């Protein structure tokens, strides 16, 4: 690889989804590993061959196919919360690396569509599966990545930096709670899910449990 290439220059070629599919906590962490020659250029599924080719040119290394162990390049998506099903557990808020989810405990959450990077990190922690994914509208204009506005990538870069500073931790997600706290949280969520199911059943007796 070409010596002396800055982390900033490498990071600029990544679409800033902060999805961790590359195996690193953030796009910047991946860029740092690339700058130090500790990782390969084909580990960013969202950027696909567009990022791979750009990184190959920048770093003076041959392009190669996307590493299948990192996932597929499936196009740009955003997440949406079914607000009628949301129980306000805040777990998705803690998981979002760019603070694109707003809400409060036991209150309805919503996702800021224009700021969502489609990282999918909010899906696993949701206890009621009320988050779905949808394709983004195509972006028409010059961009390093087809259909993705470069301004959105830049906003994501700023938002993840601001979030790290707010949390006081380099990790893209909130600090994990202790075992006792986690068990208590799970019990609280399970109770909320049960109450929500009972409410639906009373509203529609024909609805299966």
CATH for 77-167, among 3.30.2080.10, 3.40.50.150, 3.30.70.20, 3.30.830.10? 3.30.70.20
Considering just the CA atoms, what is the radius of gyration of the chain in Å?
A: 19
User: What is the pLDDT, as a whole number, of residue 87?
Assistant: 95
- The region that residue 197 occupies, defined by phi over 0 for left and psi between -120 and 50 for alpha, beta otherwise, is alpha
Model confidence pLDDT, tens digit, residues 140-180 = 889 999 889 999 999 999 999 999 999 886 544 333 444 45
CA distance 53 to 115: 26
Q: What CATH number was assigned to the domain covering residues 7-70?
A: 1.10.15.40
User: What is the pLDDT, as a whole number, of residue 2?
Assistant: 56
| Residue for token pair 């990538």 | 153
| Residue for token pair 């109450």 | 195
Q: Name which of 31-45, 80-94, 152-166, 188-202 the model is least confident about.
A: 188-202
Q: The whole model's pTM is what? A: 0.80
User: What is the pLDDT, as a whole number, of residue 179?
Assistant: 47
- Tell me: pLDDT of 181 over 60: no
| Residue for token pair 């960013």 | 44
| 41 contacts 52 by C-beta, under 8 angstroms | yes
């Amino acid at each position: 690889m070409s010596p002396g290439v800055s982390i900033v220059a490498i990071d600029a070629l990544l679409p800033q989804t902060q999805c961790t599919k590359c195996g690193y906590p953030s796009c910047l962490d991946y860029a740092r590993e690339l700058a130090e020659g500790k990782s390969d250029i084909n580990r960013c599924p969202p950027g696909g061959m567009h990022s791979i080719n750009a990184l190959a040119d920048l770093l003076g290394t041959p392009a190669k196919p996307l590493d299948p162990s990192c996932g597929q390049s499936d196009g740009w998506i955003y997440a949406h919360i079914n607000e009628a099903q949301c129980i306000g557990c805040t777990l998705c808020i803690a998981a979002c690396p760019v603070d694109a989810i707003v809400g409060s405990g036991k209150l309805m959450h919503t996702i800021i569509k224009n700021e969502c990077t489609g990282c999918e990190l909010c899906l696993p922690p949701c206890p009621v599966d009320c988050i779905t994914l949808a394709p983004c509208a195509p972006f028409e204009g010059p961009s390093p990545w087809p259909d993705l506005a470069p301004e959105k990538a830049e906003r994501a870069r700023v938002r993840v930096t601001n979030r790290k500073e707010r949390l006081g931790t380099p990790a893209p997600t909130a600090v994990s709670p202790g075992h006792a706290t986690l068990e208590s949280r799970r019990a609280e969520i399970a109770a909320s899910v049960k109450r929500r199911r009972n409410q639906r059943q009373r509203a529609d007796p024909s609805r299966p449990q």
